[in-house]
Amino acid sequence: MSEPQQLLSPYERGRLSLANRVVLAPMTRARAGSEMTANELMARYYEQRAGAGMLITEGTFPSRMGVGWLHAPGIFTDEMAAGWEPTIEAVHRHGTPIFMQLWHTGRASHSDFLDGELPLAPSAVRHEGKGIPTPKSDGEEKAHETPRALTIDEIPVVIEEFKTAAKRAKDVGFDGVEIHGANGYLIDTFLQSRTNKRDDAYGGSIEARFRFLKEIVEAMLTVWPSQQVGVRISPNGAFNDMGSPDFREQFSYVAERLDDYDLGYLHVLSGLAFGFHELGEPMEMHEFRRVFKGTLMANCGFDRESAEKLIAAGGTDLVSFGRPFISNPDLVARFANDWPLADEAPQDTWYSFDAEGYTDWPTYEEEQRAAKT
Ligand SMILES: Cc1cc2nc3c(=O)[nH]c(=O)nc-3n(C[C@H](O)[C@H](O)[C@H](O)COP(=O)(O)O)c2cc1C
Interval 136-175: pLDDT, tens? 999 899 999 999 999 999 999 999 999 999 999 999 999 9
Q: Residue 179 pairs with which residues in a beta bridge?
A: 102, 231
Confidence of residue 2 (pLDDT cuts 50, 70, 90): very low
pTM of the predicted protein model: 0.97
Q: Domains in the chain, ordered, with CATH?
A: 6-372 (3.20.20.70)
Three-class SS state of 362: coil
Interval 221-232: pLDDT, tens? 999 999 999 999
Interval 97-140: pLDDT, tens? 999 999 999 999 999 999 999 999 999 999 999 999 999 999 89
Task: Report the separation in Å between the CA atom of 322 and the middle of ligand 1, taken as the mean of its atom positions.
Answer: 5
Q: What is the pLDDT of residue 358?
A: 82
| Neighbour-count burial for 187-204, b at 16+ CB within 10 Å, e otherwise | bbbbbbbbbbebeeebbe
The Cα–Cα gap between 205 and 68 comes to 28
Three-class SS state of 157: helix
DSSP code per residue over 29-84:
---STTTT---HHHHHHHHHTTTSSEEEEEEEBSSGGG--STT--B-SSHHHHHHT
Ligand 1 is surrounded, with C-beta below 6 A, by 25-28, 58-59, 101, 103, 180, 182-183, 232, 269, 273-274, 299-302, 321-324, 350
Q: Are 230 and 258 in contact (CB under 8 A)?
A: no
Confidence of residue 1 (pLDDT cuts 50, 70, 90): very low
The secondary structure of the chain in percent helix, strand, coil, rounded to multiples of 5, reads: 35, 15, 50
Three-class SS state of 352: coil
Three-class SS state of 187: helix
- Best of 183, 268, 274, 303 for a ligand 1 pocket test (most atoms within 8 Å of beta carbon): 274
Instruction: Point out the ligand 1 atom lying closest to the alpha carbon of residue 301.
Output: 25
Helices (H), the chain: 40-48, 78-83, 85-92, 155-172, 186-191, 206-220, 247-258, 285-291, 304-312, 323-327, 331-337, 364-372
